[in-house]
Amino acid sequence: MASKTKKRTIATRKVSYDPSRHPSLIFALCVVGKDNAEICHLLQISKTTLSMWRGKYPEVHEAFEDAREEGAVLEVKKALYKRALGMKVTTQQVRSKIGADGKLEPLNATKAEVELPPDAKAAQYILNNRKPRDWKQRQEVAIGPAGPSVPPNVHFYLPENGRPVIVDVAPSGGEECQKQLKQVN
């Protein structure tokens, strides 16, 4: 008795292409990691239809390409975030020896889980870019009105303590300025 195998088919219905809707849906689905089969299932179209749309409509092709790039950026963001917080990684160490024939012969392999501490540079980068008002390292110099009777004020923002130090610079400059700077330090 010959066994009959049924070929599984996905029921699709006739869906007409909508340029205002489909490219953005395809982009969003690709960014979250859906593959072509899942996209076809969710849009209720066949793989052939998706392939045809990609070739026929440039905006669909661009949606796939843009999503691939966006997905790569998202992966880098996730990796940077994990590194900033610290993470555990599994390492494998293989010990081997050189055999009589000159080839490497493995002796044993050990796996170990290593905890990487938080990376201050990664955290600083994230904070500088996400909250620049609070975390950007900046040095601002503000010079007041210059004139013979009013000396200019120079503001130095020191990144070590964050407090502004005001140094009054005399119009003659030079020695008087050096004395005031030594008094502040």
Q: What is the pLDDT of residue 144?
A: 53
Is the domain of 97 the same as that of 79? no
55 and 91 housed in the same domain? no
DSSP for the chain reads -PPPPPPP----------TTTHHHHHHHHHHTT--HHHHHHHHT--HHHHHHHHHH-HHHHHHHHHHHHHHHHHHHHHHHHHHHH-EEEEEEEEEEEE-TTS-EEEEEEEEEEEEEPP-HHHHHHHHHHHSHHHH-------B----SSS--EEEEE-TTT--EEEEEPPTT-HHHHHHHHHHH-
Percent of the chain predicted with pLDDT > 70: 67
Q: Is the pLDDT of residue 46 over 70?
A: yes
Verify that 98 and 62 share a domain, yes or no: no
- Say what the pLDDT of residue 4 is: 59
Q: What's residue 131's pLDDT?
A: 82
For the chain, the domain total comes to 3
Given a cut of 90, is residue 22 above it in pLDDT? yes
User: Do 80 and 41 fall into the same domain?
Assistant: yes
Same-domain status, 27 and 58 = yes
pLDDT at 155: 47
Confidence of residue 48 (pLDDT cuts 50, 70, 90): very high
Q: How would residue 149 be classed by pLDDT, with cut points 50, 70 and 90?
A: very low
